[in-house]
Chains A and B, each alone.
Chain A
Amino acid sequence: MTRYESERFYQQTNELGGGVTCGNTSLKTTRDFKVVGQQALAEIQTATPKTKGFYAATKTQVDDGSAIYAIAQCVETATEDKCLSCMQVAYNNLLSCLPNTDGTAYDAGCFMRYSTTPFFAANQTIDIGSYLKTGTFYYIL
């Protein structure tokens, strides 16, 4: 009898009240940083719903010597489709933060964050390369 409400609570991913918080520091080398940042976020958005635990963490090197640390996570009760749609909203929200040095997007069922300051250890990154391929093609976003 309570399946309807229960699913609504546990599987819900996007809702009003989700949003984004951007850091207020911007890097001087904005162009390259912005391009690389966008690519890193696009990849983590695509890969996360395909991972087993709906979680990914990456470190992406920028030519100017800085690096972008990013994580994305969905609630484990979500479906792959709902995780992806939540990731898409989070990704679009985070684009508004670039080229600032950090940003956080949150929603009922997912979370995405990037920063030039490491917030997880180097050995905690997850190789998402295999999730980005479809046949012999890469997603081009």
Chain B
Amino acid sequence: MLGLKLLALTLIWWSCSVEHADAATPKTRLINTGCSPFNASNAHSFFANINDTFSELRAEVTNQTKHFATSQKSRGGILTYTMFQCRNYLSKNDCLSCFDTASTQIRNCSKANGARVIYNDCFLRYLSLYSPNIFKFTFIFPFQILSM
């Protein structure tokens, strides 16, 4: 129950800040960034998931010249969803450069279980959930979940 409330709160309520200053790289500008107010419950699994999914996202851009990629990993009860997109007008190198800027920036959210960074040229988001709670809840109260 608490897990689901946290999930809902995480999805709709982000601590946001808007920055108008130029980002570290001259090529793209940071428009918005937000970290979830809740920390991942298992930092070790969480960081391992973040590292794995970010590597996969980067590989999709590098190997398949994709402008859009998603990746998810589950480990130690922690489920992590990630999503990256760069604007279609970018070359592969510029897209990668934006990914590198974004993936560095988003780590400022530290253990926050959800975060996003939005640039003119790309964005990166993730959400991490403690899955056993949700399995249990789904099993016991399936109709409440469906009616939400």
List residues of A whose CB falls within 8 A of some B CB: 1-2, 4-6, 8-10, 12, 15-17, 19, 21, 53, 55, 57, 71, 73, 75-77, 104, 106, 108, 111, 113, 119-121, 124
Contact = CB atoms under 8 A, between A and B. Distances in A.
Given A5-B129, A12-B11, A121 B120 contact: no
B123 A106 contact: yes
Contacts, number: 82
Q: Which of B13, B87, B135 has the most CB of A within 10 A?
A: B87
Contacts of A106: 31-32, 118, 123
A5 B85 contact: no
Given A77-B83, A106-B118, A10 B70 contact: yes
Interface of B: 7, 11-14, 16, 18, 20, 31-32, 34, 67-68, 70, 72, 79, 81, 83, 85, 87-89, 116, 118, 120, 123, 125, 127, 129, 131, 134-135, 138, 145
Contact residues of A: prevailing secondary structure: mixed
